[in-house]
Structure 1
Amino acid sequence: MTTAVRRIGLVVPSSNVTVETEIPALLARHSTARFSFHSSRMRMHTVSPEELRAMNAQRERCIDELADAGVDALLYACLVALMAQGPGEHRRAESAVTEQLAAAGQSPAVRSSAGALVEALSALGARRIVLVTPYLRPLAEQVVGYLEAEGFEVADFAALEVGDNAAVGAIPGERVLAAARGLDRSTADALVISACVQMPSLDLVAPAEREFGLPVLSAATAGAYSLLRALGEPPVLPGAGSLLDPVGGAPHLYDRAP
């Protein structure tokens, strides 16, 4: 019997070159489900409050385009674009997208990178976290405030101070790992190694779990987890960290000293 291909819609910033690589690469690891990917782009070059607001204003056009493709699930794939608008924005945005699609007679699962990170951290049982962001510090602080409004305690964070979104997509993995090594992880339940779908991180998640001995996730792995759950598929992907591979994750995750 042929397995039906599930269509995934991605709403992405025009300068993003990472999410359309990492999300398909992750979901290709699924043991049974098969997926195709369909994107619509919102113009954005600089990660600034002004450009993020202007980008969000293009959302309705993007949703209409993805509705034409008849997607089964949709991911609004820019974490900071929603978190910069204030606490709870992912719920408001997902609700607005759902209503727009319903008006077109469609009911795909609707998720966002911002909401997916909250969902994934909750699934891990993480309450005290540390994170690495590529953003300028004021935006990074808004991300921290957003997560704290969701009930998490951010013990430490890094802001790599990269404002050009194209440059974010070229941040070397070693720089991201170096930032993670500089965080105070002593009381953390989890590390978000990339709180941005544009900052490459997929190849860092499993090595970081082995090095640091605690669950590691990223905006990409959280997005994949949320999409799979929304579609009713087992959220299990080998080699993608404890969130998606609880059996194959770092074997010493729960052997840390208190």
Structure 2
Amino acid sequence: MGNRDELLAAEQVTAENGAEPRRRDVTRVGLIVPSSNTTMETELPELFARQTAATGQRYTFHSARATLKSVTREELLAMVDKAADCAVAVSDADVDVIAYACLVAVMAQGPGAHTASEDVIARAASDNGHPAAVTSSAGALVRVLQGLGAGRVAMVAPYMKPLTAMVRDYVEGSGISVLDAASLEVEDNLAVGCLDPAQLPRIARELRREGAEAIVLSACVQMPSLPAVQEVEDELGVPVVTAATATTYEILRHLGHEPAIPGAGGLLDGRFSPVEAVR
């Protein structure tokens, strides 16, 4: 029993006011995801596992879910109404940072909406007694592109054409010209999560990308893309980012951790350093 007590004392810090214990050596990452999302909770842990292997920094993930089955404007706006409740739920885990991981739900509100969404989540967590840094996939994507100086991009999205056009308008509303936006026309969100990332290099090649300064290989947190990021970047010779890699980058920077993730593009292995990418 003595050894067990010593181990618990070494791993946990208990506040005198009765607050829950905190691990000294582990960072807690909170995610707010659509209920049908199957990708962010696989791609982000994989990326952070690579960060752990490179740096020794350790992370755990804690999610709250908001109902979303079909990627329609109506369901997306209904999900937005749940953001504050989800922030309260995930902040109960006393997380260090919260990522609002539904890019198109934010973008459906119009250009610049990520700022207000992040403020709502931060305020809800703080009012719940557990303040945390906050990012959103929508905000992370545009801030990373701006920080990279990518004034012209081409992108791939899984959405029906009207939603892809909305994402395009949102990105352009941030001062970034979208040269082309491929729309894969998948409405069911579970089906989006089953798309084959091995098809992305071909789709990226077919984009109208002359003059592009970056490629957005997945403008969606649900469309798998991680296995293709490095391949497409190596082939096309410009930075390749996704909703997941941009979100990962901002989480790391909010935590003060230098990105050291191999095999996921220059944004995360330290070759590209966006300027003032974190809000």
One fold, TM greater than 0.5? yes
Show CA shifts across 1:127-159 (max 9, x none).
100000000111101111111111101111101
1:129 to 153, 156, 166: 153
Number of residues of Structure 1 aligned to a counterpart in Structure 2: 248
CA contact (8 A) 2:260 2:269 kept: yes
What residue number does 2:197 align with? 173
Does residue 1:103 correspond to 2:127, yes or no? yes
2:66 paired residue number: 42
User: Which residue of the partner structure matches residue 251 of structure 1?
Assistant: none
> Counterpart amino acid of 1:13?
P
In 1, Cα distance between equivalents of 2:56 and 2:177: 36
- State whether residues 119 and 226 of structure 1, in contact with CA within 8 Å, keep that contact through their aligned partners in structure 2: no
Amino acid in structure 2 at the alignment position of 1:81: A
Please tell me the residue identity of whatever aligns with 2:33.
Answer: V
Distance in 2, Cα, partners of 1:32 & 1:149: 39
SS at match of 2:182: strand
Assess if the C-alpha contact under 8 Å between 1:90 and 1:114 holds in 2.
yes
Partner of 1:214: 238
Other-structure match for 1:26: 47
Give the match for residue 88 of structure 2: 64
Is contact 2:35-2:69 (8 Å) kept? yes
Structure 1 stretches lacking a partner, 5+ long: 249-258
Q: Which amino acid aligns with 2:57?
A: A
Contact persistence 2:152–2:212 (CA under 8 A): yes
Question: Does structure 2 conserve the Cα–Cα contact (< 8 Å) formed by 1:29 and 1:237?
Answer: yes
CA distance in 2, matches of 1:157, 1:133: 7
In the alignment, the residues of structure 1 paired with residue 31 and residue 215 of structure 2 have an alpha-carbon distance, to the nearest angstrom, of: 25
* Aligned residue identity for 1:148: E
Aligned to 1:255: none
The answer as to 2:37 corresponding to 1:16 is: yes
Unaligned runs of 5+ in 2: 1-9, 12-23, 273-279
Deviation at 1:247, TM superposition (A): 4.2
Counterpart CA distance in 2 for 1:114 and 1:172 is 23
Matched, 1:143 2:164: no
Deviating runs (4+, > 4 A) in structure 1? none
Is contact 2:215–2:238 with CA below 8 Å preserved after alignment? yes
Q: Does 1:204 align with 2:239?
A: no
Measure the CA separation in 1 of the matches of 2:217 and 2:86: 28
Task: Report if the CA contact (8 A) 1:135-1:162 is conserved.
Answer: yes
Does 2:29 correspond to 1:5? no
Q: Return the TM-score normalized by structure 2.
A: 0.86
